[in-house]
Structure 1
């Protein structure tokens, strides 16, 4: 066999204090470790970079382990025989938070952790498996122990690159991975002359060299001193940290290129997901004879669906592109997938010295990233620069149904227009098994539980549009599509053909001139980058990559109405009945990278409350009172918008009352801006 799977069950207990979730009844929680043994020479995983250089056991198998967790009906016959697989963003469980409107937690146990119970009431078994092999323990993250590649026992070395952006003054140390949650590839030498540390104000600015004697590979330890000397600190040499005595200036982009060692074989994360879901869907017993926990009286999982947001949305696209949705006997692993806020990127985890937690290329952060490389679309297209013809989906026998969703933020930061255009920016029809939806005027994270809006590093408040109801309707639509052949509503995306997908200059001409509001320069560019001749084999030679002059893919954004809200896409109730302008972009404060865009939080720019205020401020947008008259008028508008989405099959009936309840008191606390 090409691969074997086994597991160790560490805990089995009731979930949600034994509460019964309708017809599905009570749920239980299983957790432990999955053990994988794979043949590195087998065709099924030969695409994994460096798997042939991983250590093997006496049988010539590569062995690795991963945490798993399953929530399932105690009586499987009462469930719906469907597996909902949450990819787990950066090792964190997210499905209950976004589908059940539950508090975020990596240890779901209590009744509160079930939220509104949506996934349980539908009868799903919910599964998690650690797939990211470069995480460090902490905060309950799920961990995969990825093997380290070597050449006949000798360490592998190579150039790698990291970026650091401090968010507050006084920061003097970063791990080389840039994040404390993530394993750093250690430097071969502590001599700073063998590396290069630079800084620049913006992504496109000229790099300023920081002299080798002005920084060190080191970390700081601090603690109380003796003899009333107060706090003391020690500077300790470290092959996994960078120390800048004068501190990293907030908002500036610092970049280190150094010689690293011991690359992890991170592509085995795809193998783990493939084999775990395949076992739960088709397997009877493990290699040691342990029973499939989702199989009952010979009946197992009938359909398996995957959901991932942001990092894990890109991971799903990468999984499909590399062919991992074909399991043993060429059977589909996932029948349907829901990549959310992935933009046009893939995970790009399958290369040497990959760092999986880093944000992919945005306007300011990690702009020159390998995450966004052709192909961008599920549909077949031609890269007009290279003549290469390719697509995310190229295996019709095992390709799943796809519901791809992006918010306004991904059009501004993550080049989402390229999901449904060709490389010249022209509308590109998608395959019949794909739906693409823009969640208009909403933002990347969009937590279902929002208190009064904050600003963080931005000049304006975060975008507060509520969208979790769209997840629930989307999953019902996907299940009906996979189970009954009932197609979901047609894609709702901005298009060049009808003028709802536009270049930055057309967007700027249409956006209202709101007093005191700074606009971004434009969406994040996508230059063609040269990472070296072996990039397709997972090896990066050019760090930083070379920019191919004059070669840039067209990134376009949704056109807006007179309020500045997106015209196309699925307009959530709060967008159809707005209390302000909700954007996919936000602009950094003066002290943290003035004028560059802030990550992926979007903006909420409130309407003037009254016509008097509008006249005083010169705001071109109608006031709240002129639109709705009273608080009851606003609630009625939200109800009407929600009912329209229900009629279109994009929102569930049960969510109308939730939207109406949230609209009370003028949508507070979600809209309560404290200046």
Structure 2
């Protein structure tokens, strides 16, 4: 029995008003739904947790459906015959935002949505497919509908855990999933005595239990009253919400452990991506005869590349580790992949009662997560705690080329050093088909269209370093690697061997004593956790997990220079010619978890404008005017840095002028320097 795909194209229209993109010409957008039917007992998907418990049709196949969207050259023969798959972060389309410097949009159709046109000028067919099966519709998110697992038609229940951190005062009700965009697993019982709600100040603080009669499984409805009584509130029982009448105190970590029911078969997301991309590459018609949208005459997609950032970077690593880059016929699905800001984590979506939206493994938020589990590296190594030998890449016949990129944030928040060290924290050589790059002194989320510095709940400005030029260069390098064998530049990462990968004590000794700036205690720890003896079968039976002794995987960070900026890695023009210190960490203000790190954010700590300000404040770092005599001098420094990166093969020539333009007027609006 073979897997089947049926594709329904519901909409086909011109993209960007028919605008021509260089030699590629005009693009069109296709949208619709894909129906997948797979044999639950066939080898290619037997590893999907609970697939054997999913309902089947008359042919014995498990069925699930997904949204898809494709931007393709109107004339495929003018394209580059390359499929670019954007995994779509939490159901949102991201590629045009980061590769084309376009505005964020889940409905890209206008000329503005094309941004600088990079992906179109290169001729890519850009593909999105919903892969996350626990999302709710809204805001244009792409939705994957997967079945619920049952035991002979009876509901399945099991223990699950959720965390809630209020970002503002007055919040009394939250979905059990913690986010309104995400389906909540219903509570098997509304009796709060059968569940446990605690709170704690920090991740490692003792848990304080909240009495069962002080909260409820309920939600609040609000609406207009009658007889001039104003707005009214009603509290209604709900198996998908938690209600705390006294409100959630900002910054505190609230943890709910409860018996959930109706687990979704979320591992089918990997199957959907595998089978859809393999189908598009094949050029063949669908099971019911619909034409393949990426095939015209003798034109087929010759290569397929995947890109994902953060959540979807982890999803790529999980996809590879679990063997889904082999299509059902044994061929390679993706020829190259680009996981960005994934750190050392994997998706951990192929388990019962998974919540795929949650941020994994921060110092403060969701610290105790199964997402960060051995193996961490692409290279095969041995976990010295358990003796287990494994790596993310272990199938040479179908493993792709990998360009893995992390920012400074992932070293502080997401244990990124473990991507290229062994479990003792020593340098670990990567396979020949892997490149790893640190984007020095930059932040997890770096908007190409940043309007200006912001603080949020942090003590400092968030990091403002621009890095989108690196996406474009890396994709060109990946394509050349896959097409001609021309390898990208060697990995650029901090190393123990040259003293650029250090422990927190070494980092602290080198970081400048900037007046009024508090420092993080350490990068996010990675303890060994016990989630129960069924963890290897995708089922968590112990919540919260037990910490196994004093076993901690060593997490290290990049060494810094006298300004506090990262020494190793790929240094963006803004880092080579800085206007401040750019870090991979920022700390919470008092009312939001004082002193703990704000998850996946960094800091921008401006230099003093002039020598007299520096002297007045006692700042040890040279001021702006001690570095650059005038705005033109700063622009020249940015140009020189950009040209160095071009010469090193790490940046495209077309991005030099973009970097120079961004440096005008002392780098405004990204910087708040006032001279």
TM exceeding 0.5 = yes
TM-score range, shorter chain: over 0.9
Which runs of 5 or more structure 2 residues have no equivalent in the other structure? none
What residue number does 2:671 align with?
A: 671
Instruction: Select between 14-23 and 281-290 the one with higher mean Cα deviation.
Output: 281-290
* Maintained 8 Å contact 1:529/1:548: yes
Partner of 1:7: 7
In structure 1, C-alpha distance between the alignment counterparts of 2:151 and 2:31, rounded to whole Å: 35
The residue that corresponds to 1:529 in the other structure is 529
Which residue number in structure 1 is paired with residue 592 of structure 2?
592
1:644 aligned to 2:640? no
Q: How do residues 109-120 of structure 1 correspond to structure 2 at under 5 angstroms?
A: 109-120=109-120
Are 2:85 and 2:306, in contact at CA under 8 Å, matched by a contact in 1? yes
Task: Report the secondary structure of 1:255's partner residue.
Answer: strand
- Match of 1:452? 452
Tell me the TM-score normalized by structure 2: 0.99
Q: Deviations over 1:271-319 (max 9, x none)?
A: 0000000000014100101111101113210000000000000000000
Q: Could you tell me which residue of structure 1 aligns to residue 466 of structure 2?
A: 466
Whole-angstrom CA distance in 2 between matches of 1:227 and 1:513 = 63
- 1:549 Cα shift? 1.5
Mapped contact 2:20–2:26 kept (Cα < 8 A): yes
Whether the 8 Å CA contact 1:193–1:212 is kept in 2: the answer is yes
Match of residue 480 from structure 1 = 480
Aligned pairs for 1:269-288 within 5 A: 269-288=269-288
Q: Secondary structure at the match of 1:550?
A: strand
Written as runs of structure 1 = structure 2, the 5 A alignment for 1:96-175 is 96-175=96-175
Match of 2:229 in 1: 229
Greater shift after overlay, 288-297 or 134-143?
Answer: 288-297
Contact 2:88 2:130 in 1 (8 A): yes
Question: Could you say what secondary structure the match of 1:523 adopts?
Answer: coil
Give the match's secondary structure for 1:404.
strand
The 3-state SS of whatever aligns with 2:329 is: helix
Deviations 1:211-241 (A, max 9, x none): 0000000000011111121111000000000
Q: Output one character per residue of 1:564-601: Cα deviation in whole Å (capped at 9) or x when no partner.
A: 00000000000000000000000000111000000112
Aligned positions, number? 674
Is the 8 Å Cα contact of residues 331 and 398 (structure 1) preserved in structure 2?
Answer: yes
- 2: distance between equivalents of 1:592 and 1:485? 50
Question: Which secondary structure state, in structure 1, belongs to the residue aligned with residue 627 of structure 2?
Answer: helix
* 2:311 matched residue in structure 1: 311
Asked whether the 8 Å contact 1:425–1:555 carries over to 2, the reply is: yes
Alignment pair present for 1:627 and 2:623: no
Pairwise CA distance, 1:452: 1.5
Deviation for aligned residue 1:17: 0.4
Residues 673 and 221 of structure 1, relative CA distance in 2, 3 Å threshold: farther
Q: How far did residue 673 of structure 1 move?
A: 6.3
**Contact 1:453–1:673 at 8 Å: present in 2 too?**
no
What are the superposed Cα offsets for residues 134-193 of structure 1, whole Å, 9 maximum, x if unpaired?
A: 000000000000110001000000000000000111000010000000000000111000
TM-score by length of 1: 0.99
Task: Measure how far apart 1:399 and its partner are.
Answer: 0.1
**Structure 2 partner of 1:571:** 571
Q: Distance in 2 between matches of 1:298 and 1:120?
A: 21
Counterpart CA distance in 2 for 1:52 and 1:647 is 54
Maintained 8 Å contact 2:76/2:299: no
Say if 2:609 and 2:673, in contact at 8 Å, map to a contact too. Answer: no
Question: Is this contact kept in 2: 1:452–1:673, CA < 8 A?
Answer: no
Contact 1:173 1:243 in 2 (8 A): yes
In 1: Cα distance, 2:66 partner to 2:334 partner: 20
| Residue pairs, 1:198-597, within 5 angstroms | 198-597=198-597
Question: How many Å separate the matches in 2 of 1:672 and 1:618?
Answer: 20
Contact 2:283 2:301 in 1 (8 A): no
- Counterpart CA distance in 1 for 2:300 and 2:252 is 53
How many angstroms apart in 1 are the aligned matches of 2:152 and 2:300?
43
Q: Distance in 1 between matches of 2:593 and 2:19?
A: 49
Deviations 1:368-410 (A, max 9, x none): 0000000000001000000000000000000000000000000
Question: Counterpart of 1:329 in 2: which secondary structure?
Answer: coil
3-state DSSP of counterpart to 1:527? strand
Separation (CA, whole Å) in 1 of partners of 2:366 and 2:197: 15
SS at match of 1:616: helix
Shift of 1:329: 2.1
For residues 314 and 48 of structure 1, what CA distance do their matches in structure 2 show? 17
- The corresponding residue for 2:66 is 66
Q: Deviations over 1:421-469 (max 9, x none)?
A: 0000000000000000000000000010101210001000010000000
Stretches of structure 1 lacking an aligned partner (at least 5 in a row) = none
Q: CA RMSD in A?
A: 0.7
User: CA–CA distance in 1 between the matches of 2:581 and 2:241?
Assistant: 42
Deviation at 1:555, TM superposition (A): 0.2
CA distance in 2: counterparts of 1:26 and 1:659, whole angstroms: 28
Alignment partners' CA distance in 1, 2:269 and 2:659: 38
CA distance in 2, matches of 1:628, 1:576: 13
Distance 2:298 2:385 in 1: 53
Q: Distance in 2 between matches of 1:145 and 1:516?
A: 50
